[in-house]
Structure 1
Amino acid sequence: MLLLSLAALTAVSVVRAATYDYIVVGSGPGGGPLAANLAKAGYSTLLIEAGGDEGSNPTYADIANFLESANDEASRWDFFVKHSDDPKRDLQYKYNTWDTGDGTFYVGRDPPAGAKLLGIQYPRAAVLGGCAMHNAGVASLAQDDDWNFIANQTGDASWEASKMARYFREIEKNHYRPSTEKEHGFNGWLSTNVGDPSWAKAEDNPGTRMLKRLGELLGQNTTTTSSLLENDILAHTPGKDQISSVYNMAYHIDAIGKRSSPNNYLRATLADPAKYPLTLALRTLVTKVLFSNATVPRAIGVEIMEGASLYTADPKHVPGSKGPVSQVYAAKEVIIAGGVFNSPQILKLSGIGPKAELEKFGIKVVKDLPGVGENMGDNYEASILGSSAQPIPAGLSTAMFRTQNAATKNRNIYAWCGPFSFEGMWPGFPNNYPNQWSCAVAHIGPKSHKGTVKLVSANPQDRPDINLHLFAENGEADVAELSSAISLLRASWLPAAGTSVAPIKELHPCPGEIGKALSCTEEAQREFIKLQVYSHHATSSCAIGADGNPMAVLDSKFRVRGVAGLRVVDGSALPVVPGAFPVVPTMMISQKATEDVLADAKKWV
């Protein structure tokens, strides 16, 4: 266990059986900011991270390198998931990953003889800053209804959308709007910025014409196309969720395009160890939470295993490798923030979860909580991908809109278009195509939350069994909304792009020449979407819920039900998928959780 408290992140000592006020497990968007906040409040805090630190590595620091960071074995944890309980259906997914047995992967539907099916890759980041260090940096807000849902379910008015907006302003350091705007924050730790919109000023540019046409399809005034990109996608304006509009994409990056993440905030906090009592343990795997023998069990610390690449999801893991096991203790609370897959795993290994599952693996039941590892949801993602006769010069543009078949009055699609391809994740992704042009979509408000995270053993080094159970509930409605979005985006391509880049050949979901009769029916388009949809925004596997709800893992203050001194603060706590991208909403709940934790600080002796 490397215990660190300097900005240079050099090892200073190895300390076991130490006691801190708080122990935070996981340094991502939930745990990282919370640990820094607790230290800044004067409480000794141990932050435990299973990975290392890549904050100075340009692969991670420069947002333009995000494809390399997501593929980098320095931080990558490979989870392999199922999309359903139907193996035949899942085998139709184009990018299944197979272990060839010679140290390489095969990706596709025609594996070599003897290859072992691993599943659908779902990489997570074991690194200081968590998945905010390997993502594309997209900054997006939750819908107001997402926050109000929690308030209504729990009766806790502090979750109301009008009150949650404050947490975004507190953490934000905005770089693209006037500092007088009340909708934004300008003194927080999280930098936000937008891409360069100057490309859209060339009205004859095919990409600009496509942007203009999309604006027209969404009912916007397109007199000056570039003005569409002045719309602020991060504004907390009244009724924002009912507005269909084109936007410039926003990112958690600074003024020069450097990634802004919990890594930056933690490094800044660690830079003054005399003032802020934050200790960082890197390359340390938490194996379970320790509890007192009381009528109401209280979390008193964690058991840890020290060493690099100890978890089997790490591609650098050496089978059979282990590290020394020891304990560290918390005088006040233990806070789990391991992410949507690892937080429920840690709880279960600690004796908190469905009784039958725990007993199956010989784990002593501390609290029977059937909702642990259940209720998992995710944004469905799909795309329309084409190849044009000539390159289409353009940057990225974003559209948020409501399809006519949406279940509510709220917009249900977040789309982004540009000269890229994104078809999901697999080892070495993405594919690149000649003169590629794509519009990708993330489905807002998915109606199925049936995903599960289940143990495969009592060994904390084993990655769990993960089944997303896509489309298990209201699947046809979700597929129909995605299909409607694809059809609208297709309509913005030709003839708007013009003859200079024609023909544009659609590669999927309906292969053929854009502008001519579709090569597939609506039913075929929907079937393609259903089989090839992908995702990487899972949430809700340790969900907040109402008193009396047997599937509620947490109360509205992030406290694990039935025990004391234990909380979960990460995306797994959210009972619904927050908007299109959960990273910023998770940072917001980290800020909220700080208040909840500090409000209880004095009750612990």
Structure 2
Amino acid sequence: MKLASWSILAGLATAFPTNPPDQYEYIIIGSGPGGGTLAANLARAGHSVFLIEAGGDQGNTPLQRIPAMADVVAEHPSMSWSFYVNHYQNETQARRDSKYAYRLSNGTLWSGIDPPEHAEPLGILYPRGATLGGSTQLNAMNFALPPDNDWDAIAELTGDESWKSDKMRELFIDIENCTYAPEGTPGHGFDGFIQSNRNNISYITDRPGVVQSLKRAFEQTEGIQVDNAAEVGRLMQRDINRLDKDRYSPGIYQIPLHVDSLRQRTGAWRYLHETMNAKTANGSVLYPLTVSTHSLATRVLFKDSQNGKPQAFGVEYLKGEGLYSADKRYDESESGRMVNVTASREVIVAGGTFNTPQILKLSGIGPREELESLDIPVVMDLPAVGKYLQDNYEGGVTVEASVPWENNPFENCSFTLEANDTCYQEWNQSHTGAYGEGAAPISLLYRSSVSETNDTDLYLFGAAGTVFRGYFPGYSTWQAPPTSWFWSIVKMQTGNQAGTITLRSKDPRQAPEINFNYFAEKGNRDLQAIQEGVEHTMRIFNATGEPYAPFKIVEPRSGVSIQQGIMDDAFSHHATSSCRMGPAGDRNYCVDSEFKVNGVDGLRVVDASVFPRTPGGFPAAPTFMISQKAFGVIMGSVRG
């Protein structure tokens, strides 16, 4: 290899190399919080890395930089993939969801309960990032740590003490650059690559109706009397990421965000670009990182090793834009150009919870029966691949007040990013205003009667004057009445591990079939917990008082029980565990505690698919953390 051949340039994807060298030390598939972070770290340690990303490089566009544009990015044709998933095996139950999408005979999309005749059922929209930086370029930027119990459970399951919560906290400190706590605050980092921040508390405290309702929320949740807006603000700024094993206690907080001090999204994309753009004193490339965008990984290549195990030595990928069927620009006649690249050390799959099991199965690693049914040569019979899919259930509560909620910071925002978009002009000129805000200004931790531990098991987030009720075609432009208030009830400690990801064909351009099989396991317990969350929010609304009360209840829907309403309209967007971690060599698990795929050499998985259970309420911070851990594990293997 020649250093001069590493073309590491910023800017447009077309500037990246199209004819890479034949071999690198590491090949990484996927540039999200798992793969992108790991690629940058390995390159900074001096190892040559070839990073494969199916999408383009648009992280420097206003759409991806501005926190408030997250929903727009999630439906953007060139920045996201639109998976359509099933929530249930029972089609009748599945289609009770008003978000269920269909394709009409004229090619347009429609969602609702009573579809037009001859409409083709698709399922529930589930956007994923298809851009450099992965899904953390379109998420809500929530950067909350999971409860310590989640890490300790991994340590117990695998027998690997390095996964214990105190050790994982050290990794969090490594990656964080906290901007909202005083420097030196225990448990926080101040030199990492991810800046953490919080929303502008004045957008809560300057809204009299919101303050009035939150006073009642403090009474109902913590049993405390709050007298004024200043006290509401002070209490909400208690740190949910503080160094405290009891931090998952009932209360009302702000959610930390991976947003920088200039109110811009931060994460894997920025870390990758800082790595790619770094130069030596004489202006040459400093770190050996090559990024290939618009590159769809099709399979991992294997050869026989000296110990008799199959050994990963390379990756086959297709070069071209819009080659995947979940891409809105997909054209089946466009097949791309096949390219092979090889690795002298390891291949790391970090394609995300949906795509990692697809790539492994296409490579011959997965359940034998499924692979043989599609004439895919079996490299390793590994039944756990594509099984045990999990997610946080989210149950929505939406009401409409008798009068609008005052002082909505987004009231005059057009979300067009044009000259007459005053909110954009404010953000662009001074990096202030509503566009610098994350999607969840209010969060509430609540412990149901069926929580497995002393921790709260419900993570509620909400806002006044807007609604988030899940995903459906066109959701990013749907306008809620100014009287609206929503709570999304995120169920942690979910008991269901019955979700599956199965191949539709051996064509790597075809998205797999995804079914979460909601409430199939321990469903009564999870439904009970979410119902208690619904009832808790109703107590808050009932106590809010005039002029906002009485409230019209929009969701859960009327005419059915609360639990049936939850089943009908529940959604999720934190998919994990389709290549779950467990004891080494146990074929009921996909990888061991060092991210190594069972039964083969030279292959690891580093993304949210490895979590044995969905961590906490938001997977972004935990996924960045496991990537940092994987880096340490790999460096340890290099040192021997």
- Once the two structures are TM-superposed, the CA of residue 502 in structure 1 deviates from its matched residue by 2.9
- Once the two structures are TM-superposed, the CA of residue 4 in structure 1 deviates from its matched residue by 5.2
- Once the two structures are TM-superposed, the CA of residue 219 in structure 1 deviates from its matched residue by 2.1
2:457 maps to which of 412, 418, 422? 412
- Once the two structures are TM-superposed, the CA of residue 301 in structure 1 deviates from its matched residue by 0.5
- Once the two structures are TM-superposed, the CA of residue 568 in structure 1 deviates from its matched residue by 0.2
1:439-518 to 2 correspondences below 5 Å: 439-496=487-544, 498-511=545-558
- Once the two structures are TM-superposed, the CA of residue 374 in structure 1 deviates from its matched residue by 0.5
Quick one: percent identity of the two aligned structures?
Answer: 37
When residues 182 and 489 of structure 1 are mapped into structure 2, their CA distance, relative to the original with a 3 A threshold, is same
- Once the two structures are TM-superposed, the CA of residue 306 in structure 1 deviates from its matched residue by 0.6
- Residues in 1 aligned to 2:495 and 2:448: alpha-carbon distance in whole angstroms: 15
- Residues in 1 aligned to 2:404 and 2:570: alpha-carbon distance in whole angstroms: 27
State the secondary structure of the residue aligned to 2:552: strand
Partner of 1:562: 599
- Once the two structures are TM-superposed, the CA of residue 466 in structure 1 deviates from its matched residue by 0.5
- Residues in 2 aligned to 1:12 and 1:542: alpha-carbon distance in whole angstroms: 31
Partner of 1:232: 239
1:217 maps to which of 213, 216, 220? 220
State the secondary structure of the residue aligned to 1:95: coil
* Contact 1:3 1:280 (8 Å CA) reproduced: no
- Residues in 2 aligned to 1:350 and 1:17: alpha-carbon distance in whole angstroms: 23
2:636 maps to which of 588, 599, 604? 599
Partner of 1:161: 165
After TM superposition, the structure 1 stretch with the greater mean CA deviation from structure 2, 10-19 or 379-388, is 10-19
Show structure 1 runs of 5+ residues with no match: 512-519
- Residues in 2 aligned to 1:12 and 1:451: alpha-carbon distance in whole angstroms: 37
Q: How many residues align?
A: 589
Partner of 2:296: 285
- Residues in 2 aligned to 1:591 and 1:180: alpha-carbon distance in whole angstroms: 21
State the secondary structure of the residue aligned to 1:209: helix
- Once the two structures are TM-superposed, the CA of residue 24 in structure 1 deviates from its matched residue by 0.5
State the secondary structure of the residue aligned to 2:497: coil
- Residues in 2 aligned to 1:220 and 1:199: alpha-carbon distance in whole angstroms: 24
After TM superposition, the structure 1 stretch with the greater mean CA deviation from structure 2, 110-119 or 159-168, is 110-119
Provide Cα deviations, 1:243-297, integer angstroms capped at 9, x if missing partner. Answer: 1111012211011221112101101100026211100000001110001123111
Q: CA RMSD in A?
A: 1.7
Q: Does 1:330 align with 2:343?
A: yes
State the secondary structure of the residue aligned to 2:475: coil
When residues 386 and 332 of structure 1 are mapped into structure 2, their CA distance, relative to the original with a 3 A threshold, is same
* Contact 2:17 2:290 (8 Å CA) reproduced: no
* Contact 2:16 2:291 (8 Å CA) reproduced: no
Partner of 2:62: 58
State the secondary structure of the residue aligned to 1:251: coil
2:443 maps to which of 380, 386, 398? 398
2:323 maps to which of 288, 310, 315? 310
After TM superposition, the structure 1 stretch with the greater mean CA deviation from structure 2, 411-420 or 327-336, is 411-420
State the secondary structure of the residue aligned to 2:593: coil
**Structure-1-length-normalised TM-score:** 0.94
Tell me the amino acid that sits aligned with residue 414 of structure 1: Y
When residues 415 and 3 of structure 1 are mapped into structure 2, their CA distance, relative to the original with a 3 A threshold, is farther
- Residues in 1 aligned to 2:186 and 2:245: alpha-carbon distance in whole angstroms: 13
When residues 454 and 120 of structure 1 are mapped into structure 2, their CA distance, relative to the original with a 3 A threshold, is same
State the secondary structure of the residue aligned to 1:74: coil
2:581 maps to which of 510, 528, 544? 544
- Residues in 2 aligned to 1:345 and 1:198: alpha-carbon distance in whole angstroms: 45
Partner of 1:260: 266
* Contact 1:353 1:368 (8 Å CA) reproduced: yes
* Contact 2:394 2:572 (8 Å CA) reproduced: yes
Tell me the amino acid that sits aligned with residue 335 of structure 1: I
State the secondary structure of the residue aligned to 1:158: helix
* Contact 1:332 1:601 (8 Å CA) reproduced: no
* Contact 1:16 1:326 (8 Å CA) reproduced: no
Show structure 2 runs of 5+ residues with no match: 280-284, 410-440
Provide Cα deviations, 1:21-40, integer angstroms capped at 9, x if missing partner. Answer: 10010000100000000000
* Contact 1:305 1:324 (8 Å CA) reproduced: yes
- Residues in 2 aligned to 1:220 and 1:31: alpha-carbon distance in whole angstroms: 44
Q: Does 1:426 align with 2:463?
A: no
Partner of 1:515: none
State the secondary structure of the residue aligned to 2:260: coil
Tell me the amino acid that sits aligned with residue 215 of structure 2: K
Q: Does 1:389 align with 2:402?
A: yes
Partner of 2:79: 75
**Structure-2-length-normalised TM-score:** 0.89
* Contact 2:396 2:569 (8 Å CA) reproduced: no
- Residues in 2 aligned to 1:13 and 1:444: alpha-carbon distance in whole angstroms: 43
- Residues in 2 aligned to 1:406 and 1:210: alpha-carbon distance in whole angstroms: 26
When residues 178 and 222 of structure 1 are mapped into structure 2, their CA distance, relative to the original with a 3 A threshold, is farther
- Once the two structures are TM-superposed, the CA of residue 547 in structure 1 deviates from its matched residue by 3.3
- Residues in 2 aligned to 1:145 and 1:32: alpha-carbon distance in whole angstroms: 27
* Contact 2:584 2:591 (8 Å CA) reproduced: no
- Residues in 1 aligned to 2:250 and 2:213: alpha-carbon distance in whole angstroms: 17
Q: Does 1:128 align with 2:118?
A: no
1:110-189 to 2 correspondences below 5 Å: 110-189=114-193
Tell me the amino acid that sits aligned with residue 495 of structure 2: K
- Once the two structures are TM-superposed, the CA of residue 222 in structure 1 deviates from its matched residue by 3.8
1:352 maps to which of 365, 380, 383? 365
* Contact 2:30 2:51 (8 Å CA) reproduced: yes
- Once the two structures are TM-superposed, the CA of residue 42 in structure 1 deviates from its matched residue by 0.1
- Residues in 2 aligned to 1:481 and 1:38: alpha-carbon distance in whole angstroms: 42
Tell me the amino acid that sits aligned with residue 287 of structure 2: Y
* Contact 2:586 2:598 (8 Å CA) reproduced: no
Provide Cα deviations, 1:146-205, integer angstroms capped at 9, x if missing partner. Answer: 111111111100000111011111111111110120221111111111111124445x81
Partner of 1:372: 385
When residues 499 and 268 of structure 1 are mapped into structure 2, their CA distance, relative to the original with a 3 A threshold, is same
* Contact 2:101 2:122 (8 Å CA) reproduced: yes
- Once the two structures are TM-superposed, the CA of residue 405 in structure 1 deviates from its matched residue by 3.4
1:21-100 to 2 correspondences below 5 Å: 21-100=25-104
Tell me the amino acid that sits aligned with residue 313 of structure 1: A
- Residues in 1 aligned to 2:385 and 2:83: alpha-carbon distance in whole angstroms: 18
